[in-house]
Amino acid sequence: MDNKGRSKRSIRVKVISMGNAEAGKSCVIKRYCEKRFVSKYLTTIGIDYGVTKVSVRDKEVKINIFDMAGHPIFYEVRNEFYKDTQGAILVYDVTDRASFEALDSWLAEMKQEIGDPLEMEKVVFCVCANKIDRRSSRVVDDTEGRLWADSKGFHYFETSAQSGDGIAEMFQTLFNGVVKAFENGGKAERIATTLGYTKEQVEAVQRLRNSKDNYERLGLLPGASKDDVNKAYRRLAVLLHPDKNVAPGSEEAFKILVSARTELLKNR
């Protein structure tokens, strides 16, 4: 397809957020997508998912944002979401050194789950030094943060979800990088929005939206094992993942699927 043909298609890209719990990942995303700050901290359970549309380089871009819970207990939920990522935001709290020092382990987890080093190299990364409004409590200065980001070849931004400082600039840089990859024939091109969807995809959406309980949503009997839950989830995720399914209601159904799996895996 020539460049003229590409420009008429809406590009769909996947962005993930990574970082320790309470670093402010959800607040950063809400500040950008909803133009508001949520002062009351609510722990992200498993995965939060949102969609926004932006115009980048004269192209309409549909951004699928996966906000991944930072607590270790949610590893088995978030590990499914690293693959097929085009953009990633590594968030740390400038008032919490442990969150900064954890960036290497977050990067290592992503590398492990993606597997292919070449796929990892295609991801556009932004390092988000968050909560800069808390100047008196800051323990990681900008020089240290920039040096770490520069050593990896990542973009670096100082942000405050509370004031909004640096948020728009960071996301704009991230989206510009992803769209540039699309224009150069990168991975984003391969998941450009397609026309149509299958009967199986539509039926999966309907079942997720109409089922009475989480076992029924995953097509399981009550008391199913952890392995059964994960197998059923993976099968449905292939049908419902927003990168692959444009059937009406698919985004809502995917959220329901993630929530159902998270609930069924609790206390196992």
Of 98, 99, 103, 96, give the one whose Cα is nearest residue 126: 103
Q: Which of 17-26, 66-75, 181-190, 220-229 has the lowest mean pLDDT?
A: 181-190
CATH number assigned to the domain comprising residue 260: 1.10.287.110
Q: Determine the 3-state secondary structure of 64 from DSSP.
A: strand
- Measured CA to CA, the distance from residue 220 to residue 225 in angstroms comes to 10
| pLDDT at position 267 | 61
Beta-carbon-side half-sphere exposure of residue 266 (alpha carbons within 13 Å): 9
Residues 75 and 16 in one domain: yes
Structural domains counted in the chain = 2
Tell me: do 176 and 213 sit in the same domain: no
Are both 155 and 207 inside the same structural domain?
Answer: no
User: Facing residues of 155 across strands?
Assistant: 126
Q: Average pLDDT of 50-62?
A: 79
Q: Is 42 in the same domain as 107?
A: yes
Domain finish residue from 162, 190, 218 = 190
Letter string b/e over residues 183-214, b meaning 16 or more CB atoms within 10 A of that residue's CB: eeebbbeebeeeeebeeebbebbebbeeeeeb
pTM of the model: 0.67
Structure tokens belonging to residue 66:
């996966």
Identify whether residues 230 and 248 lie together within a single domain. Answer: yes
Of the candidates 90, 102, 97, 91, which has an alpha carbon nearest to the alpha carbon of residue 139? 97
Which H or E run contains 63? Answer: strand 59-68
* Phi, psi dihedrals of residue 130, rounded to the nearest 5°: -95, 160
Least confident of 12-21, 77-86, 207-216: 77-86
Are 106 and 212 found together in one domain? no
Model confidence pLDDT, tens digit, residues 138-170: 999 999 999 999 989 899 999 999 999 999 999
**Are 85 and 216 members of one domain?**
no
Are 68 and 26 in contact by the 8 Å Cβ rule? The answer is no
Judge if 211 and 156 occupy the same domain.
Answer: no
What is the pLDDT averaged over residues 248-262?
Answer: 84
How is the beta sheet containing 59-68 ordered, strand by strand? 47-56, 59-68, 11-18, 87-93, 124-130, 155-158
Pairing of strands 59-68, 47-56: antiparallel
* Domain identity same for 136 and 203: no
CATH number, residue 66: 3.40.50.300
Instruction: Please report, for residues 46, 73, 222, 264, the alpha-carbon distance to residue 267 in angstroms, rounded to integers and kept in the order given.
Output: 14, 10, 15, 8
Choose the final residue of a domain: 190, 207, 233.
190
Q: Say yes or no: 67 and 99 in one domain.
A: yes
**One domain for residues 94 and 147:** yes
Strand partners, 120: none
**How high does pLDDT run on average in the chain?**
82
Domain that holds residue 226: 199-265
What's the length of the chain? 268
The pLDDT score that the predictor gives to residue 194 is: 38
- Judge whether residue 42 has pLDDT over 70: no
Sole residue written with tokens 């556009």: 124
The mean pLDDT value for 27-40 works out to 80
Residue 91 pLDDT = 96
Mean pLDDT of 116-135: 91
For residue 62, is pLDDT > 80?
yes
Tokens 């926004």 belong to residue: 52
State which of 134, 156, 190 marks the end of a domain: 190
Q: What does the pLDDT read at residue 92?
A: 97
For residues 53 and 121, membership in a common domain is answered with yes
Structure tokens, 191: 């998941």
- Measured in degrees and rounded to the nearest 5, phi and psi for residue 241 equal -55, 130
